[in-house]
């Protein structure tokens, strides 16, 4: 999974990036700096537990890559110049994490009052304009070429998207058929990506739910169907420097149940409809990421095309049964396993052994 961090200048994107990835990228900023990129493993106590029991040679967590780009400068003109390149850095991501400044401190470029709705609109406008520019250039190139039934169909679809964007609607709000989705896959439109809004709050609100303070903004986000979380990037940076008991103590002192990293990653999984299943053995304990509603056959394909092709049955033990009985073997002895066919819909946390024959 890839998460792109975007936002206006000086809102705390790099601070958040550092906190999430335990990195130490410069928070001095700089307009033309290359994006910060780092991969971390997805914290999952289920994998920890499985690993404790199996003591495998290798433990493989799911990974998430974070990409932090320089601040987006509002305005179509900047967009047409170098700014387009900036946004291209987040074209490959699965989900956009949009950081909003909700701390009052004056930053170098930001002296305005907190304006959650205004900031969201500014960034979304840039995403929208970038997509519009891409569509317009594609259509004008298509107009120079000989038409085919396929190209005509694509053009019709692009015109539909264009109208949507011109009505100032993000593409993620447009219902598409699976065929249309396939046609558009290569474009990687920015306004089509799912978003999470990170409210980068002032440290003093760390123990306060700010929803009622910013009720208008919350209503606006709800209308956009965009989930949000509140995080203090500054506090999270401090947390990320700590380990083990020190971390635990600091979290407790600040009334936090866990680092913001965990909450953000969980939300990203949720927004993307991602779930995990596990394979466990003496060689390796591993987390696999699939989509909610994927079946056992599709899950097998994640591991290897041979396992998918030669699929016989999926031996499934639920994570709860594994926990209750202390090991997969004991759960099996207690009859807590199922032999599931191809069309079985995998449940988050399933521990699966695929029986296959090639």
CB of 102 to Mg ion, least distance (A): 17
Q: Does 279 bind Mg ion (CB under 5 A)?
A: no
Task: Give the dihedral sign, CA 181/295/2/246.
Answer: positive
Q: Mask: binding to Mg ion, 21-50, rule CB under 5 A, as x and -?
A: --------x---------------------
Q: Which is nearer to ligand GTP, 13 or 286 (CB)?
A: 13
- With CB under 5 to 8 Å by kind, the binding choice for 95 among ligand GTP, Mg ion, none is none
One-character DSSP codes across 296-312? HHHHHHHH-HHHHHTEE
CB of 80 to Mg ion, least distance (A): 22
CB of 83 to Mg ion, least distance (A): 15
Q: Using CB under 5 A, which of 14, 51, 200, 230 touches Mg ion?
A: 14
Binding footprint of Mg ion, residue count (CB under 5 A): 3
Q: Give the gyration radius of the chain's Cα atoms.
A: 23
- With CB under 5 to 8 Å by kind, the binding choice for 337 among ligand GTP, Mg ion, none is none
Return the number of other C-beta atoms located less than 10 Å from residue 117's C-beta: 16
Q: Which is nearer to ligand GTP, 8 or 132 (CB)?
A: 8
- With CB under 5 to 8 Å by kind, the binding choice for 259 among ligand GTP, Mg ion, none is none
CB of 29 to Mg ion, least distance (A): 5
> Rounded to 5, what percent of the chain is helix, strand, coil?
45, 20, 35
CB of 10 to ligand GTP, least distance (A): 4
Tokens coding 199 = 């409210």
- With CB under 5 to 8 Å by kind, the binding choice for 105 among ligand GTP, Mg ion, none is ligand GTP
In 3D space, the residue among 282, 342, 353, 281 whose CA is nearest the CA of residue 317 turns out to be: 353
CB of 333 to Mg ion, least distance (A): 54
Which residue ranges make up the site for ligand GTP (CB under 6 A)?
7, 9-15, 27, 29, 70-71, 103, 105, 107, 200, 202, 232-234
Report the residue count for the chain: 358
CB of 123 to Mg ion, least distance (A): 14
Q: Looking at beta carbons, which residue is closest to Mg ion? A: 14
Going along the chain, which residue ranges are E strands? 2-6, 36-41, 58-60, 63-68, 95-102, 194-201, 228-231, 274-280, 284-291, 311-317, 338-340, 351-356
What letter would DSSP give residue 33? P
Residues 124-163 that bind Mg ion (CB under 5 A): none
Question: Rounded to whole angstroms, how far apart are CA atoms 13 and 68?
Answer: 7
Q: Which is nearer to Mg ion, 90 or 271 (CB)?
A: 90
Question: Rounded to whole angstroms, how far apart are CA atoms 205 and 8?
Answer: 21
- With CB under 5 to 8 Å by kind, the binding choice for 233 among ligand GTP, Mg ion, none is ligand GTP
- With CB under 5 to 8 Å by kind, the binding choice for 193 among Mg ion, ligand GTP, none is none
What letter would DSSP give residue 77? H
Q: Which is nearer to ligand GTP, 9 or 327 (CB)?
A: 9
In 3D space, the residue among 254, 234, 208 whose CA is nearest the CA of residue 246 turns out to be: 254
Task: Please provide residue 153's backbone torsions phi and psi, each rounded to the nearest 5 degrees.
Answer: -65, -40
Q: Which is nearer to ligand GTP, 11 or 42 (CB)?
A: 11
Q: How far is CA 293 from CA 10, 56, 112, 279, in A?
A: 40, 29, 45, 18
CB 1 within 8 A of CB 289: yes
Residues 183-222 that bind Mg ion (CB under 5 A): none
Contact set with Mg ion (CB under 5 A): 13-14, 29
């Amino acid at each position: 999974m890839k998460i792109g961090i975007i936002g206006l200048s000086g809102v705390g994107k790099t601070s958040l990036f550092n906190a999430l990835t335990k990195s130490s990228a410069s928070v001095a900023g700089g307009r033309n700096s290359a994006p910060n990129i780092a991969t971390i493993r997805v914290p999952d106590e289920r994998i920890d537990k499985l690993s404790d029991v199996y003591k495998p040679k290798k433990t493989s967590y799911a990974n998430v890559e974070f990409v932090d780009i320089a601040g987006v400068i509002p305005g179509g003109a900047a967009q047409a110049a170098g700014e387009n390149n900036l946004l291209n850095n987040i074209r490959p991501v699965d989900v956009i994490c949009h950081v909003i400044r909700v701390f009052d401190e004056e930053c170098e470029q930001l002296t305005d009052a907190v304006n959650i709705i205004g900031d969201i609109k500014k960034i979304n406008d840039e995403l929208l304009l970038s997509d519009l520019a891409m569509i317009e250039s594609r259509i004008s190139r298509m107009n120079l070429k000989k038409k085919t039934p396929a190209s005509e169909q694509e053009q019709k679809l692009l015109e539909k998207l264009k109208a949507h964007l011109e009505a100032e609607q993000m593409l993620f709000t447009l219902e598409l058929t699976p065929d249309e989705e396939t046609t558009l896959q290569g474009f990687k439109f920015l306004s089509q990506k799912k978003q999470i809004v990170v409210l980068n709050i002032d440290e003093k609100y760390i123990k306060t739910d700010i929803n009622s303070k910013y009720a208008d903004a919350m209503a606006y986000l709800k209308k956009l169907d965009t989930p949000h979380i509140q995080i203090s990037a500054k506090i999270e940076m401090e947390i990320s420097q700590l380990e083990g008991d020190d971390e635990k103590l600091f979290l407790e002192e600040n009334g936090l149940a866990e680092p913001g990293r965990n909450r953000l990653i969980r939300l990203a999984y949720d927004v993307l409809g991602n779930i995990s299943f596990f394979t466990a053995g003496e060689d390796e304990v591993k987390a696999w990421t699939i989509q909610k509603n994927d079946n056992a056959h599709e899950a097998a394909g994640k591991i290897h095309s041979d396992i998918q092709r030669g699929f016989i049955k999926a031996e499934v033990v639920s994570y709860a049964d594994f926990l209750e009985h202390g090991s997969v073997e004991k759960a099996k002895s207690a009859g807590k396993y199922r032999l599931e066919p191809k069309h079985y819909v995998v449940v988050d946390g399933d521990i699966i052994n695929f029986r296959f024959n090639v």
